Amino acid sequence: MPDGISQIDVSLFFRINEEISPKKHLDDIYKSIVNISAELTKSEKAYLLLYNKNDNKLHFRSNTDSDKDIITGEPLPGEPGVEWHAFSNRETVVLNNSGADDVLFDGMGKITGGGICNLICTPMTAHGESVGVIEVINFTGGADYTGKERSLMEIISMISAAAITNRMLYEDLKKRMEELNALYELSNAAVAASDEVEFFRRVLGILAASLDVERASLIFYNRERKQLEVTASYGSSIPEGTVINDESIAAYVFRNGKAMNVQNVMTDIPDFITKRGEGYKSDAFVSIPLFFNGNIVGVLNLTDKKNRRLFDEFEMHVLSSIINHVTGIYRNYSDRRSEEKRRRLMQEVKIASDIQRKNLARIPHCSGGISIAVLYEPAREVGGDFFDFYEISESISAFIIADVSGKGIPAALFTGTVKNILRAEQKTNYDPASLFSGSNTLIYNESEYGMFVTAFYIIVDENGKKLFFSSAGHNEQMLIRRRSPEVVSLKTSGKPLGISDNAGYAGGSAEYEKGDILLLFTDGLVEALDGEEMDIDEGFKKLGEIVINNINESGEHLLNIMRNAVRENSLNAELADDLTILVIHL
């Protein structure tokens, strides 16, 4: 057992784990590391330095000294000192009653101005790799650091290294997902856009969302006029067609053919550039040349990241991948609907389609005394609708129909998560309103990119001839009474699942008679039935008329009639939303 560890209160382990949690953002983890290090060792200052492979140096990442915030991101100056010794030898260094004139204090002495009395510098390692060091310092004397403080620092460094590497791994995976989705959305934009300008506007919107920037611009070289012109912009008032000044950054990058990843707009931009450093909200600025067939055709500019961080190496890689995609579409825009372009997304779409297919429930044709027919037609390769069936007893069945916001791979993944949460909750909670209340917080915690889901859950009690239901922001559903005949709207109040963690839901009920029809559907059906206007209320009215006029038809035949009605209203347009319908003969 290391000297001093027996003196440490066990509760401190739990507190350190809670403070330095990989669930936090990296900057918050860094700040927590230095704060808890200084507090637990009763030190005046604490510093966190991480290793950078590119220059083989330790760089400041966080500290408790508010006067030294400017050093964040900077390498440790001077010759290798105590920090490098601890890092390279993977051993904790404890020095008491020492000064900045000591050879080991060369780097930190330049930062602090000397006067160091007591110091602990602890290496951080994870998975066999050195990550960096944590350093605590007392300047004004006081008690020497003991084995207890050393043990505390070694515990903190172990937990910190794991938290940092795990969070970085999460961030990398998240960025890879964002890159994949951005490529998917770009290809969709190429297919859907009506002209080049609209396409490039969509490109900038996708890039801005993926990299979290406030402003972006695409500039292409006009061969006829022999000048650079703004093709599209995002987050700024620059008019399209604006001629770019020869002394601008974009013109410089276009002539040079090399990307610029500016980390300080005041010092990293060439002196001859006009308006140097003006109009930027942060130091982060990227200007990337666009090539096609070996020739430079334009420039992409991105600036003002919302989190005010610099562009890292992985983001530059993402940009390169996306830009290569954009320039290819730029020169081949006339054949954007060709099979070759679709092939670029084949693998991504296949993944999403497989996920979506697994999410579709296998609903029986009959359950007890009711019969069920299902129609599911996604508007694109990957849809956001799903449905499920639960057999509670021989005489009680339950159905759920839902519509996840968004499209693409993230929506497909989220659909699976939501379905699993609802299914798990349903096993112990049959009541519709309680089911949504119990599931909502879990779905809210799992939601990424602001995703949410509308849903309608209904229980059919054949013995009591009653329906019990609840809606989570879903469009009203339909019960068609055969005897009247008439349409009964089924709806309750309630927010979509995943929007807020404290949403409330109401329950509703209705009686039915044998032979009545329960119709469950997503809003894509009623929108399509109203044609170009896509008025849900009008579509609901037309849907009721269709069912009443064909009330003696089988479920499958009713679905065909509805499908044909939708196609007649959408002859000149593609289906805008997924089409999901359950016809349940009670």
Domain edge (last residue) among 343, 377, 409: 343
Residue 185 falls within a domain, yes or no? no
Residue 568 falls within a domain, yes or no? yes
Whether residue 359 sits in one domain with residue 409:
yes
Region of poorest pLDDT, from 10-14, 342-346, 500-504, 565-569:
342-346
Structure tokens of 347? 């693998």
Whether residue 325 sits in one domain with residue 407:
no
Task: Reduce the secondary structure of 154-206 to three states and give it as a string.
Answer: HHHHHHHHHHHHHHHHHHHHHHHHHHHHHHHHHHHHHHHCCCHHHHHHHHHHH
pLDDT of res. 21: 87
Region of poorest pLDDT, from 301-315, 454-468, 532-546:
301-315
Whether the predicted pLDDT of 494 surpasses 80: yes
Q: What percent of the chain has pLDDT over 70?
A: 74
pLDDT of res. 23: 85
Average pLDDT rounded to a whole number, residues 159-163: 90
Q: Global pTM?
A: 0.45
pLDDT of res. 207: 77
Whether the predicted pLDDT of 239 surpasses 90: no
Residue 154 falls within a domain, yes or no? yes
Average pLDDT rounded to a whole number, residues 324-344: 56
| Cβ–Cβ < 8 Å for 455, 436 | yes
Q: Compare 414 and 272 and report the one with higher pLDDT.
A: 414
Taking the C-alpha atoms of residue 131 and residue 134, their distance in angstroms, rounded to an integer, is 10
CATH number at residue 114: 3.30.450.40
Whether the predicted pLDDT of 346 surpasses 70: no
Please report which confidence band the pLDDT of residue 103 belongs to, taking 50, 70 and 90 as the band edges. Answer: very low
Whether residue 504 sits in one domain with residue 467:
yes
pLDDT of res. 92: 94
CATH number at residue 485: 3.60.40.10
Whether residue 409 sits in one domain with residue 337:
no
pLDDT of res. 250: 85
**Residue burial 454-490, b: 16+ Cβ < 10 Å; e: rest:** bbbbbbbbbeeeebbbbbbbbbbbbbbbbeeeebbeb
Whether residue 368 sits in one domain with residue 435:
yes
Whether the predicted pLDDT of 69 surpasses 70: no
Task: Reduce the secondary structure of 344-384 to three states and give it as a string.
Answer: CCHHHHHHHHHHHHHHCCCCCCEECCEEEEEEEECCCCCCC
Region of poorest pLDDT, from 214-223, 294-303, 351-360, 401-410:
351-360
Whether residue 435 sits in one domain with residue 568:
yes
Dump pLDDT digits (tens) for 369-399.
Answer: 999 999 988 766 566 788 999 999 989 999 9
Whether residue 555 sits in one domain with residue 420:
yes
Average pLDDT rounded to a whole number, residues 508-537: 88
Number of domains in the chain: 3
Amino acid at 165: T
Residue 182 falls within a domain, yes or no? no
Q: In 223-294, which ranges are E strands? A: 227-234, 260-262, 285-292
Domain edge (last residue) among 343, 378, 405: 343
pLDDT of res. 437: 93
Whether residue 226 sits in one domain with residue 85:
no
pLDDT of res. 585: 95
Which residues lie across from 220 on neighbouring strands?
229, 298
Please report which confidence band the pLDDT of residue 222 belongs to, taking 50, 70 and 90 as the band edges. Answer: confident
Average pLDDT rounded to a whole number, residues 128-157: 88
Whether residue 484 sits in one domain with residue 337:
no
For the chain, the average pLDDT equals 81
Residue 406 falls within a domain, yes or no? yes
pLDDT of res. 431: 92
Whether residue 206 sits in one domain with residue 74:
no
pLDDT of res. 178: 64
Region of poorest pLDDT, from 79-83, 436-440, 527-531, 567-571:
567-571
Token match 């679709």: residue?
A: 342
**Residue 101 belongs to domain spanning:** 5-170
Residue 181 falls within a domain, yes or no? no
Residue 178 falls within a domain, yes or no? no
Please report which confidence band the pLDDT of residue 192 belongs to, taking 50, 70 and 90 as the band edges. Answer: low
Whether residue 69 sits in one domain with residue 130:
yes
Average pLDDT rounded to a whole number, residues 115-120: 81
pLDDT of res. 180: 59
pLDDT of res. 337: 41
Average pLDDT rounded to a whole number, residues 177-201: 64
Residue 76 falls within a domain, yes or no? yes
Whether residue 372 sits in one domain with residue 326:
no
Whether the predicted pLDDT of 417 surpasses 60: yes
> Mean pLDDT highest for which of 52-61, 436-445, 569-578?
436-445
